[in-house]
Amino acid sequence: MSGITIHKKDIKKGLSLPVMEHFFSIQGEGFHSGKAFYFIRIAGCDVGCSWCDVKESWEIENHPVYDIHQILKFITNSKVNRVVITGGEPLMYYLDPLCIKLAKKGILTHIETSGSHPISGIWDWFTLSPKKRKLPNEESYQKANELKIIISRLNDLKFAESQASKVSKDCKLFLQPEWSKSHLILPIIIKYVKDNPKWNISLQIHKFMNIL
């Protein structure tokens, strides 16, 4: 019997979660770029972006399952009291139990999500990164503190505008070049942001620093 089968009930209740990797690093994207965070990359994603740079996260069975006490310990053993929960697609799971534990320890909770699943958890910062293959739900647009659109071709700028029209007026807006096409698309994004200054550029600075 696989680990995932044994843990199925606990995963459903949000008491255990499959984790592809966890590490202490620098946030490289978006509004909180440059700050140290602990990162929990939850395994499993049903969105399937062709340019995904963490395809190895998609298959849940390939990754260990940790109970949320262990996950909490990873973070409290680090030097920061803030965590980014990312994936995969973290909202495939019920995240209330984990977030309640984090809040009790005074840990700030950030999430990065496609917004394509119902929201669970309690979030100090909600980064919405919509994907064309599986659009966000209404609740996610309302909740977003930050909208991050990956740009791999010109046409994605139209998608970015359509998504920006759905978030609140306080939501921070970011365009991020798709890494493998960055050299081609970045000049277009730079011009677009100069013409449309409500947008900001997000650059995945962790990749320039050659860190996780």
Instruction: Give the CB-side neighbour count of residue 69, counting CA atoms within 13 A.
Output: 1
Beta strand spans in the chain (E): 16-26, 36-42, 65-67, 82-86, 108-113, 125-128, 146-151, 172-177, 199-201
What token pair was written down for 85? 């929960």
Quick one: which of 28, 32, 38, 89 contacts ligand SF4 (CB under 6 A)?
89
In the numeric block, which tokens belong to residue 170? 């306080």
In the complex with ligand SF4, the residue whose CB is nearer, 47 or 147, is 47
Identity of the residue, 72 or 93, whose beta carbon is nearer to ligand SF4 in the bound complex:
93
Q: By Cβ distance, which residue is nearest to ligand SF4?
A: 52
Smallest separation (angstroms) from ligand SF4 to the CB of 166: 18
CA distance 105 to 100: 9
- 3-class DSSP state for residue 92? helix
Query: Under DSSP, is residue 105 helix (H, G, I), strand (E, B) or coil?
Result: coil
**Cβ closer to ligand SF4: 75 or 149?**
149
For residue 155, the minimal CB distance to ligand SF4 (Å) is: 17
Binding flag, residue 119, ligand SF4 (CB under 6 A): no
30 lies in the site for ligand SF4, by CB under 6 A: no
Query: Distance from CA of residue 165 to its chain's centroid?
Result: 21
The nearer residue to ligand SF4, 98 or 149, going by C-beta atoms, is 149
Q: How far is the CB of 113 from ligand SF4 (least distance, A)?
A: 8
**26 binds ligand SF4 per the rule CB under 6 A:** no
Residue 45 beta carbon to ligand SF4: minimum distance, rounded to whole angstroms: 3
Q: Does 47 bind ligand SF4 (CB under 6 A)?
A: yes
Q: Is 135 helix (H, G, I), strand (E, B) or coil?
A: coil
Q: Of 18 and 88, which CB lies nearer to ligand SF4 in the complex structure?
A: 88
The answer for residues whose C-beta is within 8 angstroms of residue 168's C-beta and 6 or more apart is 141, 142, 144
131 lies in the binding site for ligand SF4 (CB under 6 A): yes
Sites of contact with ligand SF4 (CB under 6 A)? 45, 47-49, 52, 54, 57, 87-89, 114, 131
